[in-house]
Amino acid sequence: MSRHLFLDASPPPYTGSRDALDKSLFHKKLTVIGAKTAPERTRVLLKANELRKYVPYMRLTLLQVVNAATRWSSCLMDLPKVRTVVSDPSQPDGDRLVLLRVSEKSDLTPEAKAFLDRESKGLVNYEIDLDYDYWTADECLQAFLPEELREGSPTGFAMTGHIAHVNLNDEYLPYKYIIGQLILDKNKRVRTVVNKLDSIDNQFRFFKMELIAGEPEYVVEHHESDCRFTFDFTQVYWNSRLHTEHERLVALFQPGEVVADVFAGVGPFAVPAARKGCAVLGNDLNPNSAKYLTKNVQDNRVADVVRVSCEDGRDFIRASVLRVYDEPFPAYTGPKPSRSQEERERKKQQKLAAEGKAQVETGSSVNTDPNGQRRRISHFVMNLPDSAITFLDAFRGILSDSNGGDSAGGRNLSGIYEEMPIVHCHCFTRELESDKAMKDIRQRVEEKLGHSLDDSETSLHLVRSVAPNKEMYCISFRLPRAVAFEKQ
């Protein structure tokens, strides 16, 4: 005897043209049993053990009973987006129907049948209409795609502001507009869907992309680390998958330190670091990145501790130490609160004032010279994994007093730099084992520096897997003193 042990709520097979998405074909009717009851009695049915602790009534092996009890632990309706209690269509202002997840009374256990015979006003059939809006993007795509392409269907995407971006493999490109439409329809926050292309801008390293659904609005407002970032997603580099790396690195910076961000982009390291209380030199060769970095610095109210430049990374590295020395940052006076933090503090102080309690102002300062000014760079951030290592030779001699020009310029910086800066350099490697990755990356770093690294002050952090045979790492090391003071 056939038993309807569960409801098949999957979308029907798609029978239309695959040149366009016919939403009307996503329609399905399910007939289930509804137990009639007075409105005030619905809770009795919903809480009944006879309905909540349910095992299908049929001949099963012991293992099948265990599995069935796990899968079908209740005969109450539990489909997503479908209410368990609905009005009786025959009397909308009268009785209610408690929907069951079975389509025939014979699927109920004897205990459930006896309970419903005793406590309900009878069992009736109830039709549930499922349409395009019911199913997820992945479910619809599984029904739409040819069978050979269903495994690994590409409905996953990353969000940047209101933009959803995907990286479609070649076999899915014929359906890119359908995929884009599904993502747009099923995610209310999305207004624009783009597909990243394989090609990237050779000079500024941002991804080229194509619009596959929605509005061609590419200037986004993105929130991360309690900061607000505005930028044109088609003209700058931004990777939302790196938010944990942004947070990890900023957590290493101490309030009051000076950070030089060599490839700052629109500020995912620079702005949170400044909000934490660091002073920042933020640089990017891309004029659009520098433009939006300036805006983000202003919008997040850290313009007094962030200086933006737009120049080659190598030139920036060699000039940075003198810039901070000749134009030091003011003394540290505490982290920069966000607008939400300020609002919370304002309400807190208002409450304290209303209660007649004293208001206590707190502050701290970190001095790096006798006048409290900050003249020494503590960290260099080099987040350009494709080529950052090739810029490391710019550190050779940056503190030497014999170089002039863009180096120490005759100044004696040895007293200021009793402790050398830490360099955080992002890079790629094809080595998938951590020890081999360290050996590969370290060898390339030492080759560019012309000096070995100190084991005790060198670490390697796996950021993410970029491809099956490509990993992104961040190597952090204290700049060898011999490199910085190398005679040129």
Contact 422, 476 (CB under 8 A): yes
Phi, psi (deg, nearest 5) at residue 412: -95, 105
Whether residue 454 is annotated as binding a ligand: the answer is no
Whether residue 117 is annotated as binding a ligand: the answer is no
Beta bridge pairs of residue 462: 473
Residue 89 CA to residue 424 CA, distance in Å, equals 66
Sign of CA dihedral 59, 62, 67, 72: positive
Whether residue 312 is annotated as binding a ligand: the answer is yes
Residue 320 CA to residue 422 CA, distance in Å, equals 14
Whether residue 383 is annotated as binding a ligand: the answer is yes
Residue 292 CA to residue 298 CA, distance in Å, equals 10
**306-309/458-467 β-pairing:** unpaired
Token pair recorded at residue 265: 């982009």
> Which residues contribute to the annotated binding site?
246, 284-285, 312-313, 383
> Which residues contribute to the annotated binding site for S-adenosyl-L-methionine?
246, 284-285, 312-313, 383
